[in-house]
Structure 1
Amino acid sequence: MVALTRARLVAQALVGAGFPTPTDAVGAAGAMQGQDLPGVLASAALRSSGRVADVLEELDCGRLVRGYPMRGTVFLMTAADVTWITQLCVAPAIRAAAARRHHLGLDAAQLSHAGDLAQSLLEEGPKAKAELFGRWDARGLAPQGGRGYHLLFSLIAEGLIVYGPWNGSEQDVALREQWLRSSPTLEDRFGGERIPAVAELLLRYLTSHGPATLRDFAWWTKLTLGEIRKALPLIVDGLESDGADDASYWRPGLLDEVAALGRATAQPLLLPGFDEYILGYADRSFAAPSAHLAKLVPGNNGVFKRSVVIGGRVLGTWSRGGRPGDRRLEVEPFDSISEGHLRRLERRFATFPFVTD
């Protein structure tokens, strides 16, 4: 278990060499779960320069965006990947949303009307989400009670709009074709063929998350195991594996990297609440026993606290106390944490890529 945790830390670039830019880090993973926007900005920074300003610059240049490619969940992605990955994976989430639509008093005609209104508003350039909701409200679409978020999800999932530049507190929304300089479609990248596209995304997942299994990838994407197993032969020669019945795969040389890093893989880390290290796998018990996971997600409500990770294991949660200009680290340990580790965590806190003061 220790070997697995530390190998995943290195594969995810949380320990060892990071990526040159946040876009490189996000592109290597394919996508990073992003419903906690400050958290995913930190996740991208921690895997690259360490500076959240660099992530915001990539958002403002249109190189990074957030969309809904899979699982009905928002992810941070590169502009170069958001369209083809969404087209590959989004169909189950769109079907599920359509099945729920009537419960919100919405229908296909209203969704089309919402799209037309978004198109006309955003042709002027990116706008705050509140402004888009206000336009819908003024034209009778009543975005309250979850209707606005349903419309927003649907229009993003179907490729009309994306979450674009940072406006100081959140991302504006923008027309995909207007905001993204280059965002190849599934047809552009793979001639419309699904299996080569599945292979590309599978390779990125296994090299950035591995050791991991095909079932982990199926859970992460909601692609079928049938498609995934057809895709594996296209990439398997470029991977290492344990050869088990339910085999794990990882990037070549990863275990040598872990060995070379030695004790550095045990260093204390502060991770955002929805980091891929915790959320990127179907089974999270590698990082913490069930009793600790219950503290990480109180009430199993889907809201993950920020995690204290030492040696790849989640040993507590943390928060940011105090006021702007006088912030302090507050740790809630699951087990005892040594004074030496706490001092190292304080140093991590001092350089953590917070997006606000």
Structure 2
Amino acid sequence: MDASEVAHRRLANQRLSGPPLPDPVAVVRHLGAVQAQEYAMAKWSLAQRSAGDDAALQRVVDDGAVIRTHALRPTWHFVVPEDLRWVQALTAPRVRAFNRYYERQTGIDDDEATRATAAMAHALRGGNHLTRAEVAAALATAGIEASGVRLAYLTMRAELDVVVVNGVRRGKQHTYALADERVPDGLGLVGDDALVELVRRFVASHGPVTVKDAAWWSSLTLTQVRHALRLLGTEVASEVVGGLEYWFVPAPAPVPEPSPTVHVLQGYDEYTVAYTEGRVVTNIAGRVIVPENTNQVIQPLVLDSQVIGWWRRVAERDRIVAEPHLAVDLTPAQDSAMRAAFDRYSTFAGLPIVVE
């Protein structure tokens, strides 16, 4: 196995190449969790691996078939309802520990967080789906000041405790709902069973991966990841590529996509965001994609498994403008492949797209 094969295996395992999954719910279940920080574009990540337009993806989330909440790391993720409780039980303690510094900076202690969670549960009970502003008002009524960063960390604590999840979107506003009214009990995995299942899911859907990749994605410790890999036994295998040990589910190497194939990704797509040290295989040539020391999240353009640039999305009233910034000169065939990828995004978004 070489670095190119690692990248092509990831494309296939993540279902960016090869047969798509039947629906967005199957995508989230397969991947284990999908980062959903930039909501509009996060829905595109699910559609790329299955089918459906933006309106169809919104119905999936509104119906509660996919939950959007803070999980795994201190950011938004999509998870399927049956996975939510055991994933949070396994990983939330580490996330809460990470958040404590920021909670202290805003004057949040455990007592206030507990009172805030109880106040939110009371306000949401009975099928009430409240906007962020309405949650803040309910907390104010309970004598808890909550705005800005303070409100964000109080609601995140309630999400990590599986008291609060997303509700039905009201116009363009997201809402919160009571988890007990929206999420079933789920799989009930605990201890090593939960640990093994999460690592199994990550290796199968994101592999080949390094131990550090798995720890970054899951918020588990390196020790926990190694323990899970030992328990998985012959279900997984590893090879050293470029000085790094990559773990994967043994299977024949996938047939690479027809060249050229371009994928227009969002900034937090799992193909790039799920890896730390293992990210090198998506830029084998070592191209400078953005100027060094630039502190920005890019929306990658991927050509034949390799990141060759990024694109800026400008949403206008009746169209979307896409501005590609390329680190390579495209051949006519590659340029056509890029435009075809933007056309697929246009179909999803339901708006014409202009590539400038």
TM range (shorter): 0.7 to 0.9
> Residues 251 and 54 (structure 1 numbering): CA distance in 2 closer, same or farther, change over 3 Å?
farther
- The number of equivalent residue pairs is 344
- Structure 1 window deviating more from structure 2 (308-317 vs 94-103): it is 94-103
| TM-score, length basis structure 1 | 0.87
Question: 2 CA distance for matches of 1:183 and 1:338?
Answer: 53
Q: Secondary structure at the match of 1:219?
A: helix
Which deviations, in whole Å up to 9, do the C-alpha atoms of 1:183-211 show, x marking residues without a partner? 42xxx623x3x212111111110111111
Q: Hey, what does 2:116 align to over in structure 1?
A: 114
Give matches, 1:154-193, under 5 Å: 154-180=157-183, 182-184=184-186, 189-190=188-189, 192=190
One of 233, 236, 244 as aligned partner of 1:236: 233
Q: Hey, what does 1:299 align to over in structure 2?
A: 294
Question: 1 CA distance for matches of 2:168 and 2:252?
Answer: 35
Which deviations, in whole Å up to 9, do the C-alpha atoms of 1:274-300 show, x marking residues without a partner? 1000101112222236663545x9733
Q: Hey, what does 1:272 align to over in structure 2?
A: 266
One of 10, 13, 17 as aligned partner of 1:11: 13
One-letter identity of the residue aligned with 2:164: I
Q: Hey, what does 2:354 align to over in structure 1?
A: none
Residue 313 of structure 2 is aligned to residue 323 of structure 1:
no
One of 214, 219, 224 as aligned partner of 2:216: 219
One-letter identity of the residue aligned with 1:272: Q
TM-fit CA distance, 1:89: 0.8
Asked whether the equivalents of residues 289 and 310 of structure 2 are also in contact (C-alpha less than 8 Å), the reply is no
Q: Hey, what does 2:334 align to over in structure 1?
A: 341
One-letter identity of the residue aligned with 1:17: P
Asked whether the equivalents of residues 54 and 350 of structure 2 are also in contact (C-alpha less than 8 Å), the reply is no
Q: Secondary structure at the match of 1:149?
A: helix
Q: Hey, what does 1:285 align to over in structure 2?
A: 280
Using the aligned pairs only, state the percent identity.
23
Asked whether the equivalents of residues 196 and 234 of structure 1 are also in contact (C-alpha less than 8 Å), the reply is no
Q: Hey, what does 1:149 align to over in structure 2?
A: 152
TM-fit CA distance, 1:249: 2.4
> Residues 318 and 50 (structure 1 numbering): CA distance in 2 closer, same or farther, change over 3 Å?
farther
Query: Structure 2 unaligned runs (5+)?
Result: 352-356
> Residues 95 and 14 (structure 1 numbering): CA distance in 2 closer, same or farther, change over 3 Å?
same
One-letter identity of the residue aligned with 1:189: G
Q: Hey, what does 1:56 align to over in structure 2?
A: 58
Question: 1 CA distance for matches of 2:151 and 2:319?
Answer: 37
One of 68, 71, 74 as aligned partner of 2:73: 71
TM-fit CA distance, 1:163: 1.8
> Residues 52 and 298 (structure 1 numbering): CA distance in 2 closer, same or farther, change over 3 Å?
farther
One-letter identity of the residue aligned with 1:348: A
Which deviations, in whole Å up to 9, do the C-alpha atoms of 1:81-126 show, x marking residues without a partner? 1110111011122123234323212233322232222112211422
Which deviations, in whole Å up to 9, do the C-alpha atoms of 1:302-326 show, x marking residues without a partner? x522111101111111133473334
TM-fit CA distance, 1:36: 1.1
> Residues 276 and 314 (structure 1 numbering): CA distance in 2 closer, same or farther, change over 3 Å?
same
One-letter identity of the residue aligned with 1:304: V
TM-fit CA distance, 1:248: 1.9
Question: 1 CA distance for matches of 2:259 and 2:235?
Answer: 24
One-letter identity of the residue aligned with 1:103: Q
Question: 1 CA distance for matches of 2:107 and 2:210?
Answer: 41
Superposition RMSD on alpha carbons, in Å? 2.5
Question: 2 CA distance for matches of 1:90 and 1:60?
Answer: 24
Residue 246 of structure 2 is aligned to residue 248 of structure 1:
yes
Question: 2 CA distance for matches of 1:324 and 1:167?
Answer: 20
Question: 2 CA distance for matches of 1:246 and 1:114?
Answer: 45
- Structure 1 window deviating more from structure 2 (155-164 vs 52-61): it is 52-61
Query: Structure 1 unaligned runs (5+)?
Result: none
One of 83, 87, 97 as aligned partner of 1:85: 87
